[in-house]
Every structure is written in structure tokens, then in C-alpha cells.
Structure 1
Amino acid sequence: MERPRIFTGMGEYSMQHALQAFLNNSRLKYDIQALQITAVWEELMGKTVSKYTEKLELVKGTLFITTSIAPLKQELSYQKDLIAGRVNEKLGDFVVRDVVIR
């Protein structure tokens, strides 16, 4: 089955490329990426961390992780680079540039 194509005065694009270009130029991209992180959080960090994570937010490349468990806050603060690397690898893009534990 042939994929739908979009023709513009400058060339031809697949729907996937057109949608990707639209998302790259809109604020929806960050909302979608935040949802993707939430969806894979347990897989990336394990059930225990996921269970005690109260909130995940992605704001302009910064992942905010909220938990009220002090030992977990401390453990996560040591793993900031690892967390960013795992999320970026899973999403296949350089989404998380910094991690803040609250």
C-alpha cells in the first residue's frame, strides 16, 4: 500500500514527515513528549520508583520529578545523568537536557 504524499511547491513529503515538521514547530511537541515519558517511566525506572513518583513534568528540556520520599529524592539526585540518558534513548531524541528532583 502506498503512503499518502503531500505535494507542495517545494517538493513532495510523506504524511509522517509533514506531521513531524508540524510537531517540531509547535508547542504540542513538548506535551506529547511529556506524555511519552510518563508512559514509559515504570519501564525505565522500575516499579518502586514509579510507585513513589508523584508527578513528572517536562518544561523546555528540563524534566521535573516530584516525590515526597526523602531517600528516593536523594537516590534520584545521584542518577540525574542516567535518568536523562535513559529517557532520551527511549524516546530516540535529545528531549531531556536537565533533571530536577523536587
Structure 2
Amino acid sequence: MRNKKNDGAGDAIHIRDAIQQLLKTYHIKPKFDEASLIASWDKLAGKAIAKRTRRLFIRDSVLFIELDSPGMKHDLNLHKEQIMDLFAQEFGTSIVKEIVVM
């Protein structure tokens, strides 16, 4: 009979937790979260805004959104706080500290 010191059953963790731990260990979680936000823009902002988004990038925790519709620029400026709350809800942390609509 074999002596089973550690069969690994007690060490199992969820894959999501393992990936999060890996991202933190290599100090790349903030960049990963930023890339995830950019990739999720269509879903988060909606199709109408996503269609009119010319450029989207994050620099120093500031999200820059360039739109081709003056009306949407105005609407987005009015709803910046709600958008930041949506990001925090979706990603669990505040990825962006400020939003600049161009």
C-alpha cells in the first residue's frame, strides 16, 4: 500500500483564483484589467456608443474616449460617475480614476 502524503485534493483552487493570483504575483493585474476594460467597451457602453467611439485608451488611470458625435460626448460627460461605477461593478476595482471625453 502506498503512503499518500499529499494527493492534491485539499489544494484545489478555482482557475479564476489561480489566474488572479498569477496576475498579482507578476504585477500585471492593472494592465490586464485595463486591457479587459478596453476589450469589453462594446458590451459596457452599448452598441450605439461603441459605434461612435473613434479611439479609446487608458493612461495613468485616466480613460480617454474619443467620440464622433457631439451629442454623445455631452451625454457621456453627464454620466461619467455612473460609467465609473459600472466599471467598478464589472471589474471589482476602480480601474480608472477619471474619464476624459474628447
**TM-score, normalized by length of structure 1?**
0.72
Paired residues, what number? 90
* Structure 1 residue ranges without an equivalent (≥5): 5-13
- Cα deviation, residue 39, structure 1: 2.1
Residues 1:22 and 2:25 aligned together: yes
Instruction: Tell me the equivalent position of 1:76.
Output: 76
**TM-score, normalized by length of structure 2?**
0.72
Q: Looking at CA atoms only, which structure, 1 or 2, has the larger radius of gyration?
A: 2
Secondary structure at 2:40's aligned position in 1?
Answer: helix
- Which structure carries more strand by proportion? 1
Which runs of structure 1 show a deviation greater than 4 angstroms over 4 or more consecutive aligned residues?
1-4, 14-18
* Structure 2 residue ranges without an equivalent (≥5): 1-8
- Separation of aligned partners in 1, 2:18 and 2:41: 29
Identity %: 22
Instruction: Tell me the equivalent position of 1:88.
Output: 88
Secondary structure at 1:94's aligned position in 2?
Answer: coil
Secondary structure at 2:34's aligned position in 1?
Answer: helix
| Root-mean-square deviation over aligned CA pairs | 2.3
- Separation of aligned partners in 2, 1:51 and 1:17: 31
